[in-house]
Amino acid sequence: MNTIIIVEFFLYCLVILGIGFYFSRKKMNHSVFLLGGKKLPGWALAFSERATGESAWLLLGYTGFVFATGLSGMWVAVGIAVGIIFAWVFLAKKFMHETNKYGVLTLPDYLAARFAKQANVIRWLASILIASFLMFYVGAQMAGAGKMLFTTFGLGHTVGIVLATIVIIVIAFSGGFVSVVWTDMIQSVMMLITLVVLPIVAFVYIGNNDLSVTQSIADAGDSFNSWFGGMTGFAIGVLFFNNFSWFFGFLGGQPQLSSRFMALKNEKEANQGSFVAIAWTILAYSGAFLIGIAAITMYNQGSFADVEIILPTMILELMPPWIAGVLLAGIIAAIITTADSQLMVITSSVSEDIIHKALGIKMTDQQLVWVSRISVVIFGLIGMTIALVSDSLVYLVVSWAWAGVGSTLSPAIILAFFWKRYSGIGVVATIISGFVFTIIWVSTPLDSIITSRFTTFFIAAFFGIVFSLLFPDKANEASSLSEEIN
């Protein structure tokens, strides 16, 4: 392995760890550790939100997915892009205002404060849901680290996973949310550079070697050159919804993303963040899709035992070592930033929602910070264990976690924000039904027909609406009667 790439990787890790060490020296209370104390600029939060949302699954999983499916893989990018734009335009400011109104630090705590009668039940259910699914998401990131370091340095997966775990834990342990956001910002820029530069270089290579993109896509398989995967009739609708369905997880239900909205200071910062996030999304997803298309042109189907190593392979083959080192660091950046943010979400659920609020254990701010830090280490090690024993693909594991958390909590947030008759019992029904039906759905062949990312959202929303109508909150019922009289 080229010495330049090794040196650049080493320097990158030092910079990231240095940021964590810098913030570890600052005295912070629990609010700052978990949500930044409302002091972070909107553009930094936007970069952080995007880096957190687009993990190893985008650079490794999605590029491999496009290589394995062809043009129809575009609908994944469309669904996600529409979801991100919707969230920043319609939900970000709402999250900011609601956070200020109720004085909360986490997504479960907001739902609990909003529906106070069922507060503790909501805290427990939401925290169990988040910890259960996001631990597998964290494990997927660490598995992605193993693949990337294996491809780049020839290291064993185990060594790669352990090294990534150490960096991830150190950053989250040291500076909490503030440290994670600023490292996210650097890593988000590096991810964007990777996703913009690589497809340009790849298509220059394709042109210089007289390769035909259209012919290669046609030769790859019967369905590769069709925007709908060669499907007709009802099957088109199934394919469209399966790929587009990532949209539903972006509607406020991913706590690692919503925490960035909750941390916004004011409307000016929210507008600034929206512009940055939307521009980033368009550039990044266009680049990732084009990387998959370029790979179809450059490599034959079956060339890779694991299609999720395509991106690092292309970087090593197409780039001079000093650029390859920077771009490969962009992949590690995606892994570290997402795993850190998910660890912070799990940690906040344990320390704030369960220990502090649900159990009512009295602690000083500094004691709560240390409980959070210890939780970071414990859950980081659990995530590492999942990565070491799991053979699941990054794309698949993230898809399940996306359904279990995002598609369950998104209808709860949408209904809480925009439907006055939503009740505390309705929230409980939403979370339980989403949790149970996701597990049932992904455990059967049903998920291969219609993805749980789609079905979970509507099942959870259905039960939330029905139980809210059957068991309305008295305050909501009185308000509705008052409106009717007036």
pLDDT digits (tens, 9 = 90+) for 251-267: 888 888 888 899 898 89
The overall average pLDDT reported for the chain is 80
Most confidently predicted of 109-113, 347-351, 467-471: 467-471
pLDDT in tens, 139-178: 777 777 776 666 666 667 677 778 778 877 776 676 566 7
In this prediction, residue 479 carries a pLDDT of 47
In this prediction, residue 278 carries a pLDDT of 94
User: Is residue 298's pLDDT more than 50?
Assistant: yes
- Residue 470: count other Cβ atoms within 10 Å of its Cβ: 11
In this prediction, residue 459 carries a pLDDT of 94
User: Is residue 122's pLDDT more than 50?
Assistant: yes
In this prediction, residue 26 carries a pLDDT of 62
Look at 116 and 446; give whichever has higher pLDDT: 116
Rounded to the nearest angstrom, the gap between the alpha carbon of residue 355 and the centroid of all alpha carbons in its chain is: 25
Look at 25 and 410; give whichever has higher pLDDT: 410
- Is the distance from CB of 405 to CB of 430 less than 8 angstroms? no
* In the chain, % of residues over pLDDT 70: 82
Domain residue ranges of the chain, discontinuous segments joined by +: 3-391
Cα-Cα end-to-end distance for the chain: 76
Sign of CA dihedral 292, 297, 301, 303: negative
User: Is residue 33's pLDDT more than 70?
Assistant: no
DSSP 8-class letter at 445: T
User: Is residue 485's pLDDT more than 50?
Assistant: no
Give the CATH fold of the 3-391 domain.
Answer: Sodium/glucose cotransporter (1.20.1730)
In this prediction, residue 478 carries a pLDDT of 46
Nearest to 54 by CA among 325, 287, 388: 287
Residue whose pair of structure tokens reads 């080493």 in the numeric block: 10
Structure tokens at 468: 């809210």
- Please compute the mean of the pLDDT values over residues 440-453 and round it to a whole number: 81
Distance CA 275, CA 105 (A): 25
Distance CA 152, CA 166 (A): 19
User: Is residue 274's pLDDT more than 90?
Assistant: yes
- Is the distance from CB of 20 to CB of 239 less than 8 angstroms? no
Q: How confident is the model at residue 340 (pLDDT cuts 50, 70, 90)?
A: confident
Q: How confident is the model at residue 467 (pLDDT cuts 50, 70, 90)?
A: very high
- Please compute the mean of the pLDDT values over residues 111-137 and round it to a whole number: 87
pLDDT in tens, 367-423: 777 777 788 788 888 878 877 776 555 556 666 777 888 889 999 999 999 999 999
Return the amino acid letter for 126.
Answer: A
Q: What is the DSSP string of 216-228?
A: HHHHH-TTTT-TT
Of 82-91, 226-235, 296-305, 473-482, the least confident = 473-482
In this prediction, residue 480 carries a pLDDT of 45
Is the overall model pTM greater than 0.95, yes or no?
no
Most confidently predicted of 222-226, 284-288, 361-365, 395-399: 284-288
Sign of CA dihedral 453, 239, 49, 463: negative
| Alpha-carbon torsion, ordered 406, 409, 413, 419, to 10 deg | 120
In this prediction, residue 131 carries a pLDDT of 81
User: Is residue 123's pLDDT more than 60?
Assistant: yes
Residue whose pair of structure tokens reads 């809480």 in the numeric block: 416
* In the chain, % of residues over pLDDT 90: 23
- Is the distance from CB of 148 to CB of 331 less than 8 angstroms? yes
